[in-house]
Amino acid sequence: MMSTITVVAKLVARKDSLEAVKTELLKLIEPTRRERGCIEYRLHQDNGDPAVFVFYENWESSASLEKHTTTDHYKAYVSAVDSLLEGKTVNKMTRIV
Q: What CATH number corresponds to the domain at position 45?
A: 3.30.70.100
What does the DSSP 8-state code read for residue 29? H
- CA pair distance 75, 56, nearest whole angstrom: 19
- CA pair distance 15, 37, nearest whole angstrom: 34
Q: Which residue type sits at 90?
A: V
Chain centroid to CA 86: how far?
A: 15
Q: How many domains does the chain have?
A: 1
User: Quick check: 94 and 6 in contact, CB under 8 A?
Assistant: yes
Domain limits at 15?
5-93
Q: State mean pLDDT over 29-54.
A: 98
Please list the helix, strand and coil fractions of the chain in percent, rounded to the nearest 5, in that order.
Answer: 35, 35, 30
The whole-number pLDDT of residue 97 equals 82
The whole-number pLDDT of residue 48 equals 98
Taking all residues of the chain, what is their mean pLDDT, rounded to a whole number?
96
The whole-number pLDDT of residue 95 equals 87
